[in-house]
Structure 1
Amino acid sequence: MNDCGISKLDLKRRNRMQILKVVREQGPISRVDISAILGITRAAVTIITNEMIDQHILQEVGEEPVNPNAEVRKGRRKILLDINETYKFAIGIYVDEKEISIGLTTLNAAALDKKSITHKADMTPEALAELLGTTLEKMLQNSCLTYENLLGIGVGIMPSAFEMMGGSTTDTGCPTFPVLQKALEDSTRLPVYINSAVTEFAMAGVHYGDLHAKAENQVFLYWDSGSYRAIPVSGNAPILPAGSDDAFVEHICVNPAGARLEGYPKGSVRAELSAAAVAEKIRPVFSEEQTPTLYAALEGDLSRLTPASLLAAAETDTALQPVADETIKQFCVMLHTLYCLYFAEHINLYGFGFTPEHLEQIRKAAAEFAGKDFAQAIILCPIGERYHFLSGCTYLIQTGFYQRGGLCS
């Protein structure tokens, strides 16, 4: 007997995954339209979707609305299907060097409960598992749910907390947390999915709370200890392979006549836009007399400079305006390069501390540089600080539900 090829279970999971993907992006949608999009026979789609309805993964939500301008058709109108977002619920955990964030959501990443706990960089995997146990019991009681209603646990850990959580790196560059994984599985008996919180924020996508978000290319750009890092994403999956250097963005040239730095091209992001580089441009005027707002915000320490603090202070410190204007222009050059390089529909900014007013300031400069379409593609990460746990929830939902075709067991 030939054991090569795809197994029946893998084929079933693949077909269900494709159907869930179409419903997620196009729904509510009929079986006939699913068949046309996927190129699967109507009979096969009916068998699969009926099984998923019996399992409460999908639900019928009524007939197709009547279009008064369309040609009148004979026969019964199409029955539309949609994802049952309360089929299962997700637990998300976010961990950094100061805070633990735990939350409970639906499959639509709609938050039902949340809790934040501060710590002194002394959290251990075992202590986190114990903390989750007591927190989870209360959350389930508050929402009248049980462990059987849960899809699993998604955990996002910031790089600054990798060592604290016993993290290591595989040969392919992926982070792994065996001690934490075992502690959480032993205490909850639930599937556990752990990854870098930064990667999870990127995979969460632009429309993390939109059940029918269409897949798109985007670049997740984040600020990390004074430098820039980027994760290009297609749909919900990173474009670059695991372990790729996310600091490649710092090699982008933003000023051909700019400064040189060993290992980087002339006028690179690293040489022109890093916190250290911008601080050197500010240093000649940095004083309590000439830049009082920035001086007070940084407590006289330029090493604490961030893009947001520069833009905020430049509103009143006129001596900073030339540097702020130059920084914004070069920032737009960097964003436009990423926008073109990855055919991005959005550039998603995280960790910069920008306010909506700062975003509009950046967009104005971007529109002057490369047009309104590019300017509107620049957005702030929609996951706010109080909802960091959503990174874990969306990662769990993507990997533990959609990529498994809803086969959670």
Structure 2
Amino acid sequence: MLELGLSQKNVKFQNRSKVLKVLRKQPGISRKDISDQIGLTKAAISSITSEMIDEKIIVETGNQETGVVGRKKVLLELNKDFGYVLGLTISETFITVLITNLLGETVESYIHEFSSGDCCDKDEVIDLIVEKALYLLWMNGIDKQSVLGIGISYIGELGNVDIDYIKVQMAKKLRLKVVLSNNVKALAMLQVDFSIKETSENFLFVKYGPGLGMAIVESGTIIEGVDNKAGEIGHTIVDADANTTCRCGRTGCLEALISEKGIVEDIEKLGPNYSYLIINKNLSIIDYKSVNELLEMKDPTITSIFEKRYDLFAKSLANSIILFNPEYICVYGLIFSQPEIFEMINTKVKGYLGFNTTAFIKLSDLDPTSDAIGVAALVLRELFYDVGGFKEV
């Protein structure tokens, strides 16, 4: 009897989850259309949606003509303000805290940049995060009871930052469930779950800036590898003779050779004539519009800095396509905000691949300025959509 009860409960979770995932991608859809898409009977869909309307998870938003006199489809969508999640990104130079609703839309965000003189220990950082998270909730009139959880993403390996300690303390101080993830993997799941343009669940997601990372997406989930390091494109060795030491300790890693931090350092060496290209040295933010203009003018100094890096990047993307055979590579980052730069890299990749592959490079439609939204979306996936909207399972 117990096994039967658990089985029925799991089926209910799964069916509710299917309905919620359809509504996430297609707001304003009828019960009949949901039924057609997921293969449940109209009676089952009616029961599930009625239950979630009573719970205020979904709402009826209007009617649609069916072509039959006197009959209209009632349209449904998610009540995006039913619940919220907190997202947190931690790096060696900054932290970002934000709130999103059920649709992954940012409600409010806060960025704290660490200056070179900062000497905050981990407990001071935790207290700062908690203070800002509670402040953002208060400013937006959000009751903490409606917060499903908090996601913590980290950029790179963080070195001396004890991410597990931060996770434990955040759970204790905020009394929320915590989801922990590498920021690139979290962004890849955001691409799958919330991108309107996403058409596949089998692709490579590559983030460029300030470092370099890749996630392998297969059947809508991340391939982790034995030590959760599968897809570390930034730590593939592309020039063993290079005079660079990566943060991983190896020589000649792709990230060490093409990272925005290295680009900023090279631009600094050029003196005041090119200093305007650096928007924020500490965060390694580059004015790519101006860079693009200089590349179009064939400025030899800037071309010497970027051309080799783009070539190494393109070779690595081409090799990744050959190794993993994805439908495409989805690229994310401020560097791609300039169509000309994206096209330059894309052309190089096509040149290396030749005509024997159907894979291609695709530009992500996600906001390249907000890493923390990725892990917030991961919280929504794990603590809301995958469990059918139940807060406690």
TM-score (norm 2): 0.73
- Residue 182 (structure 2) pairs with residue 196 (structure 1): yes
Q: Could you tell me which residue of structure 2 aligns to residue 42 of structure 1?
A: 42
Q: Could you tell me which residue of structure 2 aligns to residue 378 of structure 1?
A: 362
- Residue 90 (structure 2) pairs with residue 95 (structure 1): yes
Cα separation, 2, equivalents of 1:21 and 1:384: 24
Q: Is the Cα contact below 8 Å between 1:94 and 1:391 reproduced in 2?
A: no
- Residue 131 (structure 2) pairs with residue 134 (structure 1): yes
Higher gyration radius (CA): 1
Cα separation, 2, equivalents of 1:125 and 1:10: 40
Question: Could you give the per-residue CA deviations for residues 194-244 of structure 1, whole angstroms, max 9, x where no partner exists?
Answer: 22223212222178475x966643322235887x54212247521455635
Residue among 110, 118, 127 paired with 2:113: 118
Question: Could you give the per-residue CA deviations for residues 135-182 of structure 1, whole angstroms, max 9, x where no partner exists?
Answer: 233222221221122122111122343641x24xxxxxxxxx2x3233
Instruction: Tell me the CA shift for residue 406 of structure 1.
Output: 0.8
CA 1:58–1:292: 2 relative to 1, 3 Å:
same
Cα separation, 1, equivalents of 2:125 and 2:71: 55
Write out aligned runs for 1:197-216 (5 A): 197-205=183-191, 208=194, 216=201
Cα separation, 1, equivalents of 2:65 and 2:378: 33
Q: Is the Cα contact below 8 Å between 2:64 and 2:73 reproduced in 1?
A: yes
Q: Could you tell me which residue of structure 2 aligns to residue 230 of structure 1?
A: 214
Q: Could you tell me which residue of structure 1 aligns to residue 254 of structure 2?
A: 274
Structure 1 segments unaligned to the other structure (5+ residues): 67-71, 168-176, 262-269, 280-286
Q: Could you tell me which residue of structure 2 aligns to residue 172 of structure 1?
A: none
Cα separation, 2, equivalents of 1:311 and 1:86: 40
The letter of the residue matching 2:206 is: L
Cα separation, 2, equivalents of 1:84 and 1:135: 26
The letter of the residue matching 1:104 is: I
Question: Could you give the per-residue CA deviations for residues 13-59 of structure 1, whole angstroms, max 9, x where no partner exists?
Answer: 11111111122233422212222222212211111111111111111
Q: Is the Cα contact below 8 Å between 2:183 and 2:375 reproduced in 1?
A: yes
- Residue 206 (structure 2) pairs with residue 221 (structure 1): yes
Q: Is the Cα contact below 8 Å between 2:329 and 2:361 reproduced in 1?
A: yes
- Residue 380 (structure 2) pairs with residue 397 (structure 1): yes
Write out aligned runs for 1:28-107 (5 A): 28-65=28-65, 72-107=67-102
Q: Is the Cα contact below 8 Å between 2:237 and 2:253 reproduced in 1?
A: no
Question: Could you give the per-residue CA deviations for residues 107-139 of structure 1, whole angstroms, max 9, x where no partner exists?
Answer: 222222221123367555543442233223322
CA 1:146–1:45: 2 relative to 1, 3 Å:
same
Q: SS in structure 1 opposite 2:72? A: coil
Cα separation, 2, equivalents of 1:132 and 1:60: 37
Q: Is the Cα contact below 8 Å between 2:83 and 2:148 reproduced in 1?
A: yes
Q: Is the Cα contact below 8 Å between 1:202 and 1:231 reproduced in 2?
A: yes
The letter of the residue matching 1:274 is: L
Residue among 314, 318, 334 paired with 2:300: 318
Q: Is the Cα contact below 8 Å between 2:321 and 2:359 reproduced in 1?
A: no
Cα separation, 2, equivalents of 1:123 and 1:215: 43
Q: Identical aligned pairs, as a percentage?
A: 22
Q: Could you tell me which residue of structure 1 aligns to residue 332 of structure 2?
A: 349
Q: Is the Cα contact below 8 Å between 2:207 and 2:214 reproduced in 1?
A: yes
Q: SS in structure 2 opposite 1:161? A: coil
Q: Is the Cα contact below 8 Å between 1:93 and 1:102 reproduced in 2?
A: yes
The letter of the residue matching 2:378 is: Y
Instruction: Tell me the CA shift for residue 316 of structure 1.
Output: 4.5
Q: Could you tell me which residue of structure 1 aligns to residue 281 of structure 2?
A: none
- Residue 314 (structure 2) pairs with residue 335 (structure 1): no
CA 1:110–1:87: 2 relative to 1, 3 Å:
same
Cα separation, 2, equivalents of 1:277 and 1:190: 40
TM-score (norm 1): 0.71
Cα separation, 2, equivalents of 1:196 and 1:29: 34
Q: SS in structure 1 opposite 2:128? A: helix
Cα separation, 2, equivalents of 1:231 and 1:247: 5
Cα separation, 2, equivalents of 1:133 and 1:323: 41
Q: Is the Cα contact below 8 Å between 2:86 and 2:147 reproduced in 1?
A: yes
Structure 2 segments unaligned to the other structure (5+ residues): 242-249, 260-265, 279-283
Q: Could you tell me which residue of structure 1 aligns to residue 145 of structure 2?
A: 148
Cα separation, 2, equivalents of 1:2 and 1:245: 39
Q: Could you tell me which residue of structure 2 aligns to residue 158 of structure 1?
A: 155
Cα separation, 2, equivalents of 1:16 and 1:216: 21
Q: Is the Cα contact below 8 Å between 2:152 and 2:181 reproduced in 1?
A: yes
Cα separation, 1, equivalents of 2:35 and 2:346: 41
CA 1:272–1:188: 2 relative to 1, 3 Å:
closer
Q: SS in structure 2 opposite 1:343? A: coil
Q: Is the Cα contact below 8 Å between 1:17 and 1:402 reproduced in 2?
A: yes
Q: Is the Cα contact below 8 Å between 1:200 and 1:391 reproduced in 2?
A: yes
Write out aligned runs for 1:165-176 (5 A): 166-167=162-163
Q: How many residues of Structure 1 are paired with residues of Structure 2 in the alignment?
A: 362
Q: Is the Cα contact below 8 Å between 1:101 and 1:115 reproduced in 2?
A: yes
Cα separation, 1, equivalents of 2:363 and 2:34: 32
The letter of the residue matching 1:78 is: K
The letter of the residue matching 1:148 is: Q
